[in-house]
Every structure is written in structure tokens, then in C-alpha cells.
Structure 1
């Protein structure tokens, strides 16, 4: 079933806003919390591992 082009155009800003807010959650909350217990490199690796784990179900 084909979706109309106007639907894609209307949903595009919502996608940008949603992904931007998600990034605030990953980098604004998770990263500082991990850096309290781990080094900056280890906390970055843990954060990326969790990010890949969450998005691996979409593939």
C-alpha cells in the first residue's frame, strides 16, 4: 500500500524532533551517570554498546 507524499513531508519534522530528544537522553543523562563510575572512554563505549543493543532489534 503506497503512502501519500504529503504524509512523509508532514512526519519528517516529527522524526527530527524525536531523534533529537532521544539523543538528549543518551548524552545528557546516560553519559554523565556513567562518567561518575567509569572513565570517559569506558563510559562512551558502554553508551554506544547500549545504543547498538537497543537499535539492533530494528534490523
Structure 2
């Protein structure tokens, strides 16, 4: 886990960004252990928050 900008943290394995350091650490731990992403953690990523689509 690497700090990017002020208060932004990146998982070094999958590259997702988080505002919360703990979420970034959880992401990196999961990625390194399972070689995949945990949907519960990635849902809190900055990328996920930018991609919420509303379908009618």
C-alpha cells in the first residue's frame, strides 16, 4: 500500500485507490493472499465511487 496524494492510498497489487488507509491495507492483503479482489473492499474504492450508474 502506497500513499499517493494527501489522504489517498493505492493498493500496489491491483492499483485501486482509497481515501482510507485501512481499506487500502485490507485490499492489498486480500489481493496478495487470494490473487483476486474482494468485492466488499473494492466497493469502497475511489474508482467504484466514480462508476456508480443508475439504471431506470
TM-score (ref. length: structure 1) = 0.30
Structure whose alpha-carbon radius of gyration is higher: 1
More strand per residue: 1 or 2? 2
Higher helix share: 1
Greater RCO (Cα-Cα under 8 Å, separation 6 or more): 2
Taking structure 2 as the reference length, what is the TM-score of the superposition? 0.30
